[in-house]
Amino acid sequence: MTSTDSTSPATRSRPAWGAALVWMGLLGLLALVGFGLIRTQQGPVGVGSAMPDFTLTTFDGDVYDTAQERGRVLVVNFWASWCKPCEQEAAALEEAHRRLSPEGVLFLGVNYVDTEPEALAYLDRFDITYPNGPDLGTRISQAFRIRGVPETYIVGPDGVLTLVKIGPFESLDEILNAVRAAQAGPSS
Partner 1 sequence: MRDLTSPAAWSLPPPERGRVRGGGVSPAWAAAVALTIALAALALPARAQEPTPSDDEVNAIAKGLYCPVCENVPLDVCPTQACAQWRETIREKLAAGWNQQQIQQYFVEQYGGRVLATPPPSGLNWLVYLLPPVAFVVAAYFLWRTMRRWAGARRPAPSPDAPTDDPYVARLEEELRRRS
Verify binding: residue 142, partner 1, rule CB under 8 A: yes
State in Å, rounded, how far the first CA of the chain is from the last one. 86
Selected range binding partner 1 among 38-46, 135-143, 154-162, 166-174, rule: CB under 8 A: 135-143
Size of the site for partner 1 (CB under 8 A): 18
Nearest of 103, 116, 111 to residue 86 by alpha carbon: 111
Selected range binding partner 1 among 87-95, 110-118, 154-162, 167-175, rule: CB under 8 A: 110-118
Cα dihedral value 125, 127, 132, 134, nearest 10? 10
Verify binding: residue 32, partner 1, rule CB under 8 A: yes
Selected range binding partner 1 among 45-53, 58-66, 138-146, 159-167, rule: CB under 8 A: 138-146
Asked whether the beta carbons of 146 and 72 are under 8 A apart, the reply is: no
Between residues 146 and 179, which has the closer beta carbon with respect to partner 1? 146
C-alpha 181/C-alpha 45 separation (Å) is 19
Verify binding: residue 118, partner 1, rule CB under 8 A: yes
| Distances from the Cα of 137 to the Cα of 19, 112, 113, 155, angstroms | 41, 9, 8, 23
Helices (runs of H) and strands (runs of E) counted in the chain = 5, 7
Between residues 9 and 137, which has the closer beta carbon with respect to partner 1? 137
Contacting positions for partner 1 (CB under 8 A): 1-2, 4, 22, 29, 32, 80, 82, 113-115, 118, 134, 136-139, 142
